[in-house]
Amino acid sequence: FSASQVPADWLGLLWFALHRRTELESKLVEWGGNGDFAVSFPFVLSGFKAVKEGMTRFPEEFSGRPRDPFFEILGKEKGIILSNGHTWKQQRHIGVTSLRKLGLGKKSIEHQIEVAVQTLVENFRQTEGQPFDPSLLVLNAVCNVICALSCGQQFAPEDENFQKLTQALKTLLKFIGDFYHTVYDTFPWLMKYLPGPHKEAVASMNLILSFAKQEIEKHKESHCLHEPQDFIDHYLLQMEKSRNDPNSTYNEDNLARCIFDFFAAGTDTTFATLMWALLLLTNHPDIQDRVQKEIEDVFGFSGSISYQDRKKLPYTNAVIHEMQRLKYILIVGVPRQSIKDVKMRGYLIPKGSFIVTDLRSVLLDPEQWETPKEFNPNHFLDKDGKFVDREEFLSFGIGQRACVGQQLARIEIFIFLTSLLRAFSFQLPQGVKELNEEPVVRVSMHPHPYKLCAIPIHS
């Protein structure tokens, strides 16, 4: 195909590939491939009713995950996000149970989050009200929460290994869903021989995996299995318990891949959510002022605010949910694959089909939301100003593949934002009328780079 025939963006390329599959397959054969084209025809579930029906009526049937040749470089069928079958069930189980035991909703994990956010507050304070880009500071803070959860410690921003880790995450997250990622997944046998940004992304994946393996070795030497302090401790303890089980998939390779999943998924989504939150609060000073007034009226300027306190802050809670609804991070839900034939709404969905949950259509569904394209916290408030937890709010997915770390993410976002809004008023730099609210379109939807001013509220 000539360059003028092939779209430059990855979404256009996907559309092109789906509609010209036969020609592409013949090209693969012509170029020496085997014709096994990587892109399958997807079934898209769009709108709240279709997504809810598909994920609740067929939770097991739609629990598979399609292969991703790029991530398979790290090893097939490992970890939580991209594994399937028995391996996936065991890895998800240890992920969910470990997070629960580590005290989600209790003071233990909240203390780690509070440490990270206090460092972030001090870093913001050092800008002295001048315009600055908050992205690196926010990324460091969010990444440190995952470090604390996974391996029980946080790192100073100047730590060399921590800097390499955050840089690797930035490189990898920039690559995921970009044009070259799509090309790699389409022609993996060809791309591994060609230069390009995929080489840097592969190196970044290996660096994160190496970091995980180093932390695993440190934990094996410390012998804290009977008093587990973090995810690695809990996982190693489960390995010990399952040592004589021939069907166990609890091993160091899967442990390292689970840690990689925590960093790749848990860092990017929370980081992007916080970046959108700061942007929206800066663009909507009336909403920011109302949140700050509610926090001040209930808690004043001293003492800590825990996640349980969200019930005392209905407007603040509504604003946080509305931010996540309006600026949903993923362009679609992470694709699934049917593991059985399914008949749904008169359509036969064959085994092996891609299932795409269009969660953006749910969160922007005009049948469910009064003003779906506007930043309107009233979507989550009743007529008396009380918070309403709506089932249409599916920012963390639905069904058996819903986000493992959603409770951690909820706690992080609440504590980060309430702590920051107690300390600062976020304002536009002089001469700037509004920050750009259009997203940078990749698999995850980040805002364009921006600067703001963090004006201290009190000493």
140-194 per-position pLDDT tens digit: 999 999 999 999 889 998 899 999 999 999 898 888 877 788 788 888 888 878 8
Q: What one-letter code names the amino acid at 24?
A: L
Kind plus residue range of the DSSP H or E element containing 145: helix 135-151
Res 41: pLDDT: 61
Res 35: pLDDT: 39
Res 104: pLDDT: 59
Res 433: pLDDT: 94
Q: How confident is the model at residue 333 (pLDDT cuts 50, 70, 90)?
A: confident
Res 459: pLDDT: 53
Res 183: pLDDT: 83
Mean pLDDT of 381-397: 93
- Alpha-carbon gap, residue 377 to 374, rounded angstroms: 9
Res 18: pLDDT: 46
Residue 9, pLDDT above cutoff 60: no
Inter-residue contact 1 to 12 (CB < 8 Å): no
Axis crossing angle, helix 268-283 with helix 135-151, rounded to the nearest 10: 140
Q: Read off the pLDDT of residues 218-241 as tens digits, 9 standing for 90 and up.
A: 998 887 767 888 999 999 999 999
Domain 11-456 maps to which CATH number in 3.40.640.10, 3.40.50.300, 1.10.630.10, 2.30.30.110?
Answer: 1.10.630.10
- Alpha-carbon gap, residue 85 to 73, rounded angstroms: 20
Residue 58, pLDDT above cutoff 60: yes
Annotation-wise, does 147 bind a ligand? Answer: no
Q: How confident is the model at residue 28 (pLDDT cuts 50, 70, 90)?
A: very low
Q: Read off the pLDDT of residues 276-303 as tens digits, 9 standing for 90 and up.
A: 999 999 999 999 999 999 999 999 877 7
- 38 vs 333, higher pLDDT: 333
Res 191: pLDDT: 81
- Alpha-carbon gap, residue 238 to 259, rounded angstroms: 15
Report DSSP letters for 24-85, one per residue.
HHHHHHHTT--S--S--PEEEEESHHHHHHHHHHSTTTT-B----TTGGGG-TT-SSSS--H
Res 2: pLDDT: 41
- Alpha-carbon gap, residue 103 to 97, rounded angstroms: 10
Residue 5, pLDDT above cutoff 80: no
Residue 256, pLDDT above cutoff 60: yes
Residue 3, pLDDT above cutoff 60: no
User: Which residues share a beta bridge with 439?
Assistant: 447
Average pLDDT, the chain: 86
Query: 66-98 burial string, b = 16+ CB within 10 Å, else e?
Result: bbbbbbebbeebbbbbbbbeebbebbbebbeeb
Residue 26, pLDDT above cutoff 60: no
Res 195: pLDDT: 84
Question: What residue segments make up the domains of the chain, in order of their start?
Answer: 11-456
pTM equals 0.87
Res 6: pLDDT: 43
Q: Rounded to 5 degrees, what are φ and ψ at 3?
A: -60, -35
Residue 196: how many CB atoms within 10 A of its CB?
13
% of the chain exceeding 70 in pLDDT: 90
By C-alpha distance, which of 340, 443, 350, 361 is closest to 42?
Answer: 350
Q: How confident is the model at residue 88 (pLDDT cuts 50, 70, 90)?
A: very high
Q: Rounded to 5 degrees, what are φ and ψ at 425?
A: -105, 125
Residue 24, pLDDT above cutoff 60: no
- Alpha-carbon gap, residue 129 to 424, rounded angstroms: 9
- Alpha-carbon gap, residue 98 to 228, rounded angstroms: 10
Res 414: pLDDT: 96
